[in-house]
Amino acid sequence: MDLTNVYSATKLKAGSRRFSAESSLGWWIGILFACAALSGGRATAQVTSPSTTLKITTTSCPAGTQLRAYAGCTMAATGGTPPYTFSINSNANISPLPEGMSISASTGEITSSLIGGQGTYTPQFIVTDSTSTQASKSINIVINGSNAFLHTIFPSNSIFHHRVDQATTGLPVDTSPAAPIYSGYQSATVKAFFGRDSYASFPNGIPAIEVPYNQADVAVTTTLYQSYFTSGPIPAYAPVEGTSRSTGDRHVLVYVEAGGGNHPALYEMWQGIYEDGPWTDSSNAVWSDVAGNALTPQGDGTSDAAGLPVSPLLVNADEVIGTGTTEAPKGTVKHPIRFTVNNMLNYWVWPATETAGTGSCTQNGTTIPVASQIYQATPPSSCTMTGPAGEIYRLKASVTTPACASTSPQSNIIITAFRDYGIILADNGDSGGLIGTPDGRWNDNDLSCLTSLTLADFEPVNVSSLMVSDDSGATH
């Protein structure tokens, strides 16, 4: 008689309790040998101990920093039947590892010689034993950004670095009928579409990365809209907005350092997809010399609905923290911050170069062709919609700083930027969406203070007196 894998004794009689194999094992063996003795035969008892349940025992992984090597993290497992194989859940609704990281299938070690991603990723780790039994665990991997380069894009006399507060500049309110934020959106709160915590397991915000001047070019195929380049210095580890598993905008923003006789440059893609060597995108744009002020040609579009560069208009943790810390930041934001509304007006004003909106305007009874540039210096007579692409809005001087800012230092610095540099209408999306980079150094509770403000607290600024040319971001 063979007692292999016996885990519990059967009931001895109705209503009696169960005995575990361990507590009743001697009883069963005694019965066996008694039976064997009575029959003159021989009994053999083979008992196999139950294995423990397969599980991942690692509970956390250390944080990392973009553009640096990763300190490392190893998935450990127990139970089941070794050897183990480790992997990442490939479900499109679950975050992959940060760009530039990989996991060893045999050891579970997570490594990277250079981290490309930033923000919080929540991949689901899977361990598979030799019997194909699986166990999984979701673990956050938090990556601090390295985005100090963003404030260097375009020179100091660019409109993208010009103050717009009335006290310092004297710039008036834009009274054009096209200028105000649409009345139906003014009750929308300002909200950070960026932060530390993951959003549905993915990093929250638009990432950006800096590469050296000699970064190798790879092929880039554009499948939908305009293309300024068919090859570019886009590394395999370049972070993608929402990661490669996103079905959204998937911006890829790459700043190339000056060197080798080349100017610093900015490459931006919309809906970028890495294809194991080359990339594809739905549109792209390049600014080949961001030490200068040249804008993209009027009406040609970029990776942004307003025809603006995305990178220099993102609020990022490096500029907010400055020489301080996450808890006590000491930085300043010296540029307008890009924001969205549900639908922009179907026109643009300088410094934008494109639009994707709704509504129309007239000039002296004649409809102005939609999807074209209008001018603050010679505004339209009337409009059926308001809020053109590229319009800059500043926090009204009459609006008091929210009380929560006294205990929300990151928000306080951003609110100061609202007064001094404003926000710039850049895309269609949720009304009041403020766009920044994902970063492990943001404090999401702090950033919630921004919701104390609404779009009604902002006024359009007439910057026409600053414009040198509509093809240049330079200011007088």
**What size, in residues, is the chain?**
476
Do the beta carbons of residue 213 and residue 259 sit within 8 Å? yes
Domain boundary residue among 124, 144, 164?
144
Find residue 56's DSSP bridge partners: 77
Residue 108 lies in a domain: yes
Helix (H) or strand (E) holding 413: helix 409-420
Structure tokens that stand for 333 in this block: 């934001």
Q: Are strands 85-88 and 64-65 parallel, antiparallel or unpaired?
A: unpaired
DSSP state string for 220-289 = EEE-SS--S-SEE---TT---TT-TT--S---EEEEE--BTTB--EEEEEES-EE-SSSEEESEEEEES-
Question: What CA–CA distance (Å, rounded) separates 312 from 266?
Answer: 10
Average pLDDT over residues 273-297: 97
Do the beta carbons of residue 316 and residue 437 sit within 8 Å? yes
| Half-sphere exposure of residue 28: CA atoms within 13 angstroms, side-chain side | 22
Do the beta carbons of residue 356 and residue 343 sit within 8 Å? no
Question: What CA–CA distance (Å, rounded) separates 65 from 453?
Answer: 32
Give pLDDT, residue 89: 98
Q: Which domain holds residue 65?
A: 55-144
Do 220 and 295 fall into the same domain?
yes
Residue 471 lies in a domain: no
Give pLDDT, residue 476: 97
If 0-12 CB within 10 Å is exposed, 13-18 middle and 19+ buried, where does residue 370 land? Answer: middle
DSSP state string for 75-129 = --EESSSS--EEEE---TTS--PPTT-EE-TTT-EEE-SS----EEE--EEEEE-
Question: What CA–CA distance (Å, rounded) separates 419 from 339?
Answer: 15
- pLDDT band at 404; cut points 50, 70, 90: very high
Residue 182 lies in a domain: yes
Q: Does position 241 have pLDDT exceeding 90, yes or no?
A: yes
For 190, phi then psi, to 5°, come to: -80, 130
Do 176 and 70 fall into the same domain?
no
Give pLDDT, residue 12: 33
Structure tokens that stand for 431 in this block: 């009304």
Average pLDDT over residues 33-47: 42
- pLDDT band at 26; cut points 50, 70, 90: very low
Question: What CA–CA distance (Å, rounded) separates 117 from 101?
Answer: 9
For the chain, percent helix, then strand, then coil, each to nearest 5?
15, 25, 60
Do the beta carbons of residue 310 and residue 303 sit within 8 Å? yes
Query: Could you report the per-residue pLDDT of 287-339, keeping only the tens digit for each?
Result: 999 999 999 999 999 999 999 999 999 999 999 999 999 999 999 999 999 99
The verdict on whether omega for the bond into residue 203 sits within 30 degrees of 0, i.e. cis, is: no
Q: What is the CATH number of the domain that holds 138?
A: 2.60.40.10
For 404, phi then psi, to 5°, come to: -65, -20
Query: Could you report the per-residue pLDDT of 164-194, keeping only the tens digit for each?
Result: 999 999 999 999 999 999 999 999 999 999 9
Query: Could you report the per-residue pLDDT of 219-240, keeping only the tens digit for each?
Result: 999 999 999 999 999 999 999 9
Do 356 and 428 fall into the same domain?
yes
Q: Does position 265 have pLDDT exceeding 90, yes or no?
A: yes
| Half-sphere exposure of residue 458: CA atoms within 13 angstroms, side-chain side | 37
Q: Does position 104 have pLDDT exceeding 90, yes or no?
A: yes
Do 28 and 135 fall into the same domain?
no
Spatial strand order of the sheet with 231-232 comes to 231-232, 218-222, 279-281, 273-274
For 455, phi then psi, to 5°, come to: -65, -20
Q: Which residue, chain included where needed, has tokens 């810390």? A: 325
For 415, other C-beta atoms within 10 Å of its C-beta total: 23
For 8, other C-beta atoms within 10 Å of its C-beta total: 12
Number of domains in the chain: 3
Do 103 and 221 fall into the same domain?
no
Structure tokens that stand for 350 in this block: 């300088």
Question: What CA–CA distance (Å, rounded) separates 29 from 85?
Answer: 39
Do 23 and 117 fall into the same domain?
no
Average pLDDT over residues 258-272: 98
Structure tokens that stand for 303 in this block: 């990776």
Chain center to CA of 162:
26
- What would you measure as the largest C-alpha separation in the chain, in angstroms? 117
Question: What CA–CA distance (Å, rounded) separates 192 from 174?
Answer: 26
Residue 473 lies in a domain: no
CA distances in angstroms from 302 to 230, 339, 358, 393, 426, listed in the order given: 14, 16, 19, 22, 11
Average pLDDT over residues 345-361: 98
Do 293 and 419 fall into the same domain?
yes
Question: What CA–CA distance (Å, rounded) separates 48 from 46?
Answer: 7
Q: Which residue, chain included where needed, has tokens 């940060």? A: 98
Do 140 and 152 fall into the same domain?
no
- pLDDT band at 196; cut points 50, 70, 90: very high
Residue 476 lies in a domain: no
Q: Does position 44 have pLDDT exceeding 60, yes or no?
A: no
User: What's the mean per-residue pLDDT of the chain?
Assistant: 91
Do 72 and 129 fall into the same domain?
yes
Average pLDDT over residues 76-104: 98
Do 97 and 214 fall into the same domain?
no
Structure tokens that stand for 240 in this block: 């993608």
Residue 475 lies in a domain: no
Residue 178 lies in a domain: yes
Average pLDDT over residues 19-35: 40
For 29, other C-beta atoms within 10 Å of its C-beta total: 14
Domain boundary residue among 144, 170, 187?
144
Query: Could you report the per-residue pLDDT of 111-168, keeping only the tens digit for each?
Result: 999 999 999 999 999 999 999 999 999 999 999 999 999 999 999 999 999 999 999 9
In 3D space, the residue among 410, 455, 409 whose CA is nearest the CA of residue 432 turns out to be: 455
Domain boundary residue among 144, 179, 208?
144
- pLDDT band at 48; cut points 50, 70, 90: very low
- pLDDT band at 51; cut points 50, 70, 90: low
Do 60 and 36 fall into the same domain?
no
Residue 399 lies in a domain: yes
Give pLDDT, residue 21: 37
Do 331 and 452 fall into the same domain?
yes
